[in-house]
Each structure stands twice: as structure tokens, then as C-alpha cells.
Structure 1
Amino acid sequence: MSAFWTLERTARLLPARRRLRKALPPLLFFTDPDRTPDPEAVARRLPRGAGVVYRHFGAPDAEARARRLLAIARARGLVLLIGQDAALAARIGAHGVHLPQRLAHRALPLRRMRPDWLITAAAHGVASARASRGHAIVISPALLSRSPSAGRPLGPARLAAMVRAAGRPAYGLGGINPATARRLRATGLIGLAAVEGFGA
């Protein structure tokens, strides 16, 4: 649990969290079918109050796995967001959705239709960060990442500039683990996100 505690503590000590008007998880675990093939195992070890973003990428067992993750979330006091698939989120009673950048324009309509949901959206540049109308944005890649799709890392200074330009709660994703999380304390982030950073 030490790795989880370090991440949780770092996230909760981010100064920007003190200004939050809406309760948002300090940590977001993003599932990935290749890099985290057993997301249930990771979810069971997350600290209370953390969030899980389930990205199914069209898997045939998506609903069954989403329901398993929701059961874990309810038992452990976690928040479950479904990646991209608002219909699945509504069907199983998830806590909200996470939108990829190309679908971020759906954030405001979803907020109006589902005021009880938490809506987050990905942002990979200043324009998308400013345009998003979700409750929070997830900026990536924050640091050097092992993800095959990650581009050039922003680094703390550029990440902080993007957070300021966005003017809304922001998470950092990419290359974040217990050893690197402390580098992001002064960036204005309200939380940290990771795929492999929470351990197997």
C-alpha cells in the first residue's frame, strides 16, 4: 500500500485542491486492456475516494467488466467513470463518463442531461483545454510515458501553463508514479491520473 499512499498523499496535498467547489477524486486510475489486463485487481487496492476510468475500446465483455468494477467501486468508496460510452454508464448506473478529446464537445450537453454525473474530458493542447466544459480536464502527457501513443511530454512548466490557460480543474496523466508525482505539486493540478502508476 505504500505506493498508493504516496500517490494519494501527493494528490491531496496539491494546493489547487483547496479551491475546489465540487468534490473530485484526488486520483484517477485509467484502465488499459494491454497495460492493465486485470483492472479489478488494481481497483481493489485503490484508496477510498479515488476514481476509476474504465476504457473498454469495444471489448465484447465491456458491460460485464463495467458491472464488476462498479461493484468494487461501491464496496470501496470509489468513483467509476466510463470512457466515452455514456449509454453504458447510464445502463449500469456509473458515476459519470470520461470523454476523449475528440468528443469533449459532448461534455456540456451531458452535464445538462445528467447533473448527477461527473464529466471529465481529455486535453492534449491549450485550445482543447480552454474549450472543454467538463467538470475537469485530464491533460497528457504530463511526463515521459511508456504509452505507445504518448507524444512529447509537457513537463512541469508547460503543464502549469496549460492548467492556467484552461481555467478549470485539471488532472495530469502520463509518466506519473510515486517517484515522479512530487514534481507536479506546483503545477496547479487538482489530482493525478495514471495507468500503470498504481501497480499491478
Structure 2
Amino acid sequence: MTQDQSSPEQVLPKLWLLSDARNDNALESALANLPRGSGFIYRHYHLGPDERRARFAALQEIARKQGHLTVLSDTPVKAKQWKADGIYGAAGRMPKGNDLLKLVTAHDWKEIVAADRAGADGILLSPIFATRSHPGTKPLGPLRFRMLARKAKAPIIALGGMNAERARRLDWPRWAAIDGLS
């Protein structure tokens, strides 16, 4: 992010929708129904390059009309070419000294440290609860999630089995979902 912008804590949306092959048919309505100023992380790894680009453009138009930030899971170069607001991925993929919003994935303490070192503007910590995205993976659970989240320098976004009811129970200010929002 550029120096003249507000701090990440101030501009980082509280609610994030992630795209996936399984929620593709519901994305238009999900984006329209998110609270104004939410965030959208576009992944869609299942599509070929041209189809992926066209789908992003269509969804980005809907997101922009709703005042949502759009973040691309890809390279920094492609994120800039596609006019995304940010980039999403592992700490090792994050650009240095770039004005893109950087959302970094983490699943444990080591990855949180790497995310902070990479200059993350937000860290998606997962999985909090059991999820179809990580079948068979032991979820962090609320207690371990809070323990890890307290140690991070960047704001934490709860991910993994999240929906509105679980977000209320977790009582965490920022959360994201695939199925739970679409």
C-alpha cells in the first residue's frame, strides 16, 4: 500500500468472499449481497487463462459497483495488469515495496511470522473450523486460533468453515468464507 493511504487496519474490510469452483454459480448474487465495502478474493484456479481473465473482469465489475475491494490470487504483475486492489497467496509470493494490498495465507505460527516479515496487510489464518477446502485437516479451533492471532503484527482474517453464525460465536472482527457466504 502507498504511504499516503490509511493504515491497513483502517482500510481492510471486515468481511471477505473467496472464489472457488464450487461457489462459481453463486458469486454474482453473493457479491451483490455482501455489505458495501467488503472484500473479494478471486482464485478460480480451475479455469484456463483466457476464461479466468474474463470471469475476473465480470466479477470485478459487480464488486466495484458494490464498493468491494478485489484481490487476485496470482502474480503481482498480473494483479496490476488486471487492476486488482491486491494480491493473495503465501508469504513467499508477496512483492516487496509494492502498492498492492497484500493478503497472506497462514496455517501456523511459522507462516504468521513469514507473513509479517513479507509486509502482509492482512493474514488469512485457517482453518478455524472443519472445512471442505481442507478435508481431513485438523482445524485450529477457537482457542488455538486466538492464541496464534494475538501474536501476529498484521490484522488476522479468520478463514475455514466460517459462516455468519460461527463468526458471531468466534467474536472476531474480520472473517472470510467460500461456502459460508455464497
TM-score in same-fold range (> 0.5): yes
Cα separation, 1, equivalents of 2:109 and 2:18: 22
Aligned partner of 1:106: which letter? R
State the one-letter code of the partner of 1:140.
Answer: S
* Mapped contact 1:36–1:196 kept (Cα < 8 A): no
- Structure 2, gaps ≥5 residues long: 1-6
Q: Considering Cα pairs closer than 8 Å and 6+ residues apart, tell me whether 1 or 2 has the greater RCO.
A: 1
**Does the 8 A contact of 1:141 with 1:175 survive in 2?**
yes
Aligned equivalent of 1:107: 94
Contact 2:76 2:95 in 1 (8 A): no
The answer to whether the aligner puts 1:196 opposite 2:152 as a matched pair is no
Q: Label 1:177 to 1:21 Cα distance change in 2 as closer, same or farther (>3 A).
A: closer
Change (3 A) 1:52 1:150: farther
- In structure 1, the residue matched to 2:33 is 45
Counterpart amino acid of residue 176 in structure 1: M
Which of 65, 69, 83 does residue 59 from structure 2 map onto? 69
Could you tell me which residue of structure 2 aligns to residue 177 of structure 1?
A: 163
What TM-score do you get using the length of structure 1 for normalisation?
A: 0.78
SS of residue paired to 2:104: strand
- Residue type of the partner of 2:144? R
In 2 relative to 1, CA 21–141 (structure 1 residues): closer, same or farther, beyond 3 Å? closer
**Aligned 8 A contact 2:8 2:122 in 1:** no
Per-residue deviation, 1:147: 2.6
SS in 1 for 2:22: coil
Partner of 2:109: 126
Q: 1:174 to 1:160 in 2, by over 3 A?
A: same
Q: What secondary structure sits across from 1:180 in the alignment?
A: helix
| 1:50-61 correspondence to structure 2 within 5 Å | 50-57=38-45, 59-60=47-48, 61=51
Partner of 1:179: helix, strand, or coil? helix
Number of aligned residues: 171
Identity %: 31
RMSD (Å), alpha carbons: 2.0
Could you tell me the TM-score, scaled by structure 2's length?
0.85
Q: Which runs of 4+ in 1 moved over 4 A?
A: none
Which residue does the alignment assign to 1:165?
A: 151
